[in-house]
A = this chain, B = another copy of it.
Amino acid sequence: MYGLIGKITTHSGQRDVLIEILIRGLADMPGCLSYVVAKDPSQPDLIWVTEAWQSKEAHAASLGLPSVRDAITKGRPLIAGMERVAETTPMGGHGLTRR
């Protein structure tokens, strides 16, 4: 498995709009086992995204999906900064769900 933990800072006031785009954009991603979009309650423009994939290749392939490309096109103007906090190797747990 392949995992990512990232944070995204939006331009002021754009967080809810971007969260909606991210949640809709990931409607059907082959090989995606978990993709959770969260607000940081202590920082008004910060989003956390935690992901688990069957493989690094499945994640890379998702970036070419029309739905994901559309989300990136719509979301990019709202983003002030992104940081990849960690690349991980998920080992198990709860909520790892194949589509």
Binding site for B on A (CB under 8 A): 1, 3, 5, 7, 19, 22-23, 26, 29, 32-42, 48, 50, 52, 85-97, 99
Q: Which 3 A-B pairs have the closest CB atoms?
A: A34-B95, A38-B88, A38-B90
Instruction: Determine whether the beta carbon of B91 is less than 8 Å from that of A39.
Output: yes
Instruction: Determine whether the beta carbon of B41 is less than 8 Å from that of A94.
Output: no
Q: How many copies altogether? A: 2
Instruction: Determine whether the beta carbon of B41 is less than 8 Å from that of A87.
Output: yes
In the complex, which of the residues B88, B90, B97 contacts A94, with contact meaning CB atoms closer than 8 Å? B97
Instruction: Determine whether the beta carbon of A35 is less than 8 Å from that of B95.
Output: yes
Instruction: Determine whether the beta carbon of A92 is less than 8 Å from that of B23.
Output: yes
Instruction: Determine whether the beta carbon of A23 is less than 8 Å from that of B86.
Output: no
